[in-house]
Amino acid sequence: MVKISVIIPHYNDSIRLYDAIVSINDAIKYSGVNNDIIIIDDGSNDTNKKIIRNIFDDINIKYTFLEQKNQGPATARNLGIKNSKSDIIFFTDSDCKVGIDWIQRHLDIYKQNQNIVGVTGWLEPASNTFVAKLERIKNKFLYGKPEIILTNNNKPAGTCNVSYKRSALNEVKGFNESFKKPAGEDFELKERILKHNPDYIIASGNSIVYHNDCYDMKYLMKFILKRGWPYKISNRFIYVKFFVLLPIMCIIICAKGLKLLGGKNRTN
């Protein structure tokens, strides 16, 4: 039987981490696989560490708790990989809740082709606010819809919902630890694995993970000011902030809208 690990880095996010672990435990029971859950604390304060230990001492879930100084999620995930002995390693985030069939949907895709070394999935807002609806529109505009594609594709490989064979991760020495913030290290890893072995496939799956955030205006401003898009120049990645890309995206969307309106007018 295949053995899997689920790796979750976290930083001062003990309450949402509890929800994440409970959902992962349900997915593990559903799939019936051998497993271990590895939580990496990325330098949280003492209060958060105490809350985590108290919470998980009260529930019957097997897990490994590792600690490091604050070095970012890329380094934290690599620590988890080094402490895993599983065949397939799953990644999600402390602010996410996975679907009950999350693990099984990934494993089913690995069975389709021995060259598949990674499986990506979909991230869906857990709320239904106006900002959450904007997020869904953005995802559909950039990536289309959740679907199974058994070839390499442009679907995201975000660490909220992705899995890799441990052998492929070891071949490229895991995540690039020069990324000290959650800023495209997942995209860069996917690119590096495919470059390392052109025969490898990172397939797209239809599993869904739910982002357990409030999706209010504060979230929107944080997203625009702090998040971005990795852009490759001369084999190096730079991280372009979304507030720089926002005017360009607006122009593209408006241009597409005008094109659609123009087409309708001509048919009339």
CATH of the domain at 176: 3.90.550.10
Domain that holds residue 242: 227-268
The closest of 103, 85, 84, 127 to 24, measured between CA atoms, is: 103
Indicate whether 116 and 249 sit together in one domain.
no
Indicate whether 132 and 233 sit together in one domain.
no
Which of 34-48, 51-65, 184-198, 225-239 bottoms out in mean pLDDT, i.e. has the lowest?
A: 225-239
- How many domains does one find in the chain? 2
How far is the CA of 101 from the CAs of 24, 48, 107, 110, 231, in angstroms? 10, 29, 10, 15, 33
Indicate whether 9 and 88 sit together in one domain.
yes
Indicate whether 179 and 242 sit together in one domain.
no
Percent of the chain with pLDDT over 90: 52
Q: Residues with Cβ < 8 Å from 10, sequence gap 6 or more?
A: 17, 39, 40, 41, 42, 44, 93, 94
Indicate whether 23 and 36 sit together in one domain.
yes
Indicate whether 221 and 265 sit together in one domain.
no
Indicate whether 262 and 194 sit together in one domain.
no
Give me the pLDDT at residue 13, please. Answer: 87
Indicate whether 39 and 70 sit together in one domain.
yes
Indicate whether 60 and 167 sit together in one domain.
yes
The closest of 146, 207, 155 to 24, measured between CA atoms, is: 207
Q: What is the CA radius of gyration of the chain?
A: 19
The closest of 83, 78, 77 to 64, measured between CA atoms, is: 83
Indicate whether 58 and 185 sit together in one domain.
yes
Which residue matches tokens 């002995």?
A: 85
Indicate whether 236 and 196 sit together in one domain.
no
Mean pLDDT of the 122-136 span: 90
Indicate whether 256 and 192 sit together in one domain.
no
Which of 42-56, 82-96, 136-150 bottoms out in mean pLDDT, i.e. has the lowest?
A: 42-56
How many angstroms separate the CA atoms of 134 and 130, rounded? 6
Mean pLDDT of the 169-185 span: 90
